[in-house]
Amino acid sequence: MLLTSVVLVLREVLEAALLFSLLMALSKRLGISWRWVSVALIVGLLGAAIYGFNIDIVSEWFDGVGQEVVNAFLQIVIYALLCLLATFAARYSRGFVVPEALLTMLMGASVALAIVREGAEIMIYLSAFVQLPDQLTSVLAGSAIGAGIGVSVGAVFYYALLNLGRRAAIIIGAVLLTLVAAGMASQAAQLLIQADWLPSQYPVWDSSWLVEEQTVTGQLLYALIGYEATPAPLQLFIYAVAILLIIFIAGIFGRSRGSAEVSHA
């Protein structure tokens, strides 16, 4: 039970921590105030509590697949927000002025929704052991370890980006956000496949012999690029389209120069 708790909580915390650290690093490099951080944390935790406490009701929606559909919807919304963020970060690196209020709103909303999604999953898992005191201690210990690993990995990414040059940090941060966003889109597809809203398919490959999903490396890749050992063809297609869409939008905006352009000599 200890190992199971470590892996499950690591999976949830790592994804949110990685997104959080990337956005905090970009925020610092872009010279944006961190006021959005506290708001995002408060809203996200409240949202996670509301979602988690009402999961029985939500699960009954859409003919019994409400949890999968709602989670997929949250992933899609986060993808859309990260798509805009990656685009604006790319614009900024090319010398465009981007309104700070817009960036903080996108960052705060992305983090808040990620906390709602991942935090609710942790609450649901832990609530199942409240009435099992003989297992609760082991579960809480494993959860603490998993959360600690996830936060530590996020901190490593944060300081790694800060140690890069300003322009390099913005560009690499935008690339990482693109990968995380595409992973979100792929995860949404998987959830909709589980809910039978999308057709189930045979996996394209099985890479579990190389990297197992239930390992720290597997969970890190899951959080960073949406890694799965047995991806369906539709997941890979959506993943590729999600990346290409961000590149296309960033390219379009990058070529559109107007009065907002400034020089960063």
* C-alpha distances in Å from residue 148, one per residue of 2, 11, 136, 151, 155: 14, 12, 18, 5, 11
Tell me the average pLDDT of the chain.
84
Compute the distance between CA of residue 164 and CA of residue 235 in angstroms, rounded to an integer. 33
Helices (H), 128-204: 133-162, 166-194
On the question of pLDDT at 73 being above 80, the answer is: yes
2-254 CATH choice from 1.10.3710, 2.40.50, 1.20.1250, 1.10.20? 1.20.1250
- What's the pLDDT at 265? 37
Residue 144: pLDDT above 50?
yes
19-32 CB burial, b ≥16 within 10 A, e <16: bbbbbbbbbbbbeb
Give the C-alpha separation, 104 to 108, whole Å.
Answer: 6
Give the pLDDT mean for 81-105. Answer: 74
Kindly report whether the global pTM for this prediction surpasses the value 0.95. Answer: no
- pLDDT by residue (tens digit) across 123-138? 888 888 877 777 778 8
SS3 161: helix
The rounded distance, in Å, linking the Cα atoms of 5 and 207 is 23
CA dist 104 and 106 (Å) reads 5
Residue 156 vs residues 5, 14, 148, 160, 258: alpha-carbon distances, Å:
23, 12, 12, 6, 37
- The Cα 206–Cα 106 span in angstroms is 36
d(CA 88, CA 81): 11
Most confident of 24-33, 199-208, 234-243: 234-243
Look at residue 40 and tell me whether its pLDDT is greater than 90: yes
Say how far apart CA 255 and CA 90 lie, in whole Å: 11
Domain boundaries, the chain: 2-254
Tens digit of pLDDT for each residue in 21-31? 989 988 887 77
Task: Give the amino acid at 60.
Answer: E
pLDDT number for residue 109:
94
Pick the range with the lowest mean pLDDT from 87-101, 137-151, 164-178, 234-248.
87-101
Instruction: Give the dihedral sign, CA 78/83/88/94.
Output: positive
Q: How far apart are CA 75 and CA 184, in angstroms?
A: 5
